[in-house]
Chain A
Amino acid sequence: MGLESLIGGEGFLTTTVNGLVNWGRKNALWPMPFGTACCAIEMMATFSGRYDISRFGAEVVRFSPRQSDLLIVSGRISLKMMPVLQKIYRQMPEPKWVISMGACASCGGVFDTYTLIQGVDQFIPVDVYVPGCPPRPESLLDAVFEIQELVGEDRFDSGKHGS
């Protein structure tokens, strides 16, 4: 269109505000790890050098929900833990996304007993489920890519879940 020749050597590029904000958001996810079982070990492996989630901008692990925008629920959630998880989810600022990692967090896994929540998606919204028992780090990375796609679809000026 000749636009590039007009702006010449000054180094401009054209985009939308929405595209720019989402580009920043999806490449700087700050995970809040909620590890309660063996899935947390795989999650730690994903954060560490071998699999290195920081290649995708999601390495700033904050153990404070108030500084995070990605909740990774990895492990069994018991009856006593569910209110804690809900409280942490409430404390995270919008916009926020949730990964339910592994069989136990997603559907209770093999633990169909009186004390285990049969899927955290009954009580908090979940965006991406990761199958596996426990999932490989590659699976968790794939879930982060899915989240990045979801972030890209969002309107930056609305709450994630609309109103």
Chain B
Amino acid sequence: MKSRSWSAKTASTVESMVVEMSAQHPAYDALPADLQSKIFEVFEHQGQVGMRCNAADQRTLLEHFRLSQNYDFLVDVTAIDHLGKDAPERFEVVYMLRALQSNHSFFRLHVWLDERLASLPSVFDLWDSARWGERETHDMFGIVFDGNPDLRRFLMPEDFPGFPLLKDYPLKGRDERRQFPKVVARGDRMVEEEPDPYPTSIGRQMHTPDYIEEVRRDSKPRE
């Protein structure tokens, strides 16, 4: 099934989609009726089934897949930032599941998450591997997983201030790279000094607009 237009959020659209989908996908038919109404969309890519739902229904659906459909392995939790895109919400949190004890099938649950809310219930009691997946997603996107006992920084340094995978976070950071003192030996002692100004590496010079213009001019084919 091809993905649909993002305006599928309104109730009437969802209902019409539900009718259409139930005739098409066995994974959707396998859901109990009360859960079927919580699914916006079912899609399949290379044999992997995915569904979209709202943040409010995330916990209910995941409990169903864990306890009733034997998805016993949470491969990863991650998120997508749709800032500036035509999407129903800013964040899309993705749970990747696998059924290792039965038929080894894959399943993905995509959860739309409001930017102002930016929090979801934790599922670490369903899968232990959610502890680290949620911790990494929190580290990179700032999404809070309520109930997760350990949401410390995962990949970034513990005192890092930002959430670097947000689309509005600058690629080169907010000057966190220059927070260290310079360590210098003076005689037999080590002292700390102000760090050097930006190194005189060519890398910095190369990206100025003048330089890029110069390269473009020089790289034109000659007559």
Contact = CB atoms under 8 A, between A and B. Distances in A.
A90 B182 CA distance: 11
A159 B185 contact: yes
B186 A163 contact: yes
Contacts of A89: 183
Interface in A64-107: 79-80, 82-83, 86, 89-90, 94, 96, 106-107
Given A79-B157, A114-B171, A94 B185 contact: yes
Interface stretch (B18-26, B60-68, B126-134, B188-196): B188-196
A161 B185 CA distance: 6
B178 interface: yes
Contacts of A114: 162, 164, 169-174, 176-177
Contacts, number: 91
A159 B196 CA distance: 22
Nearest to A90: B190
A117 B201 CA distance: 12
A112 B205 CA distance: 12
Interface pairs A-B: 4 shortest CB-CB? A114-B173, A107-B201, A163-B187, A119-B199
Interface of B: 155-157, 160, 162, 164, 169-174, 176-178, 180-188, 190, 195-196, 198-199, 201-204, 207
23 contacts: A79-B156, A79-B157, A79-B160, A79-B176, A83-B180, A86-B183, A90-B183, A94-B185, A96-B185, A112-B171, A112-B172, A113-B171, A113-B173, A114-B169, A115-B164, A118-B198, A122-B178, A122-B180, A123-B181, A123-B183, A123-B195, A125-B184, A125-B185
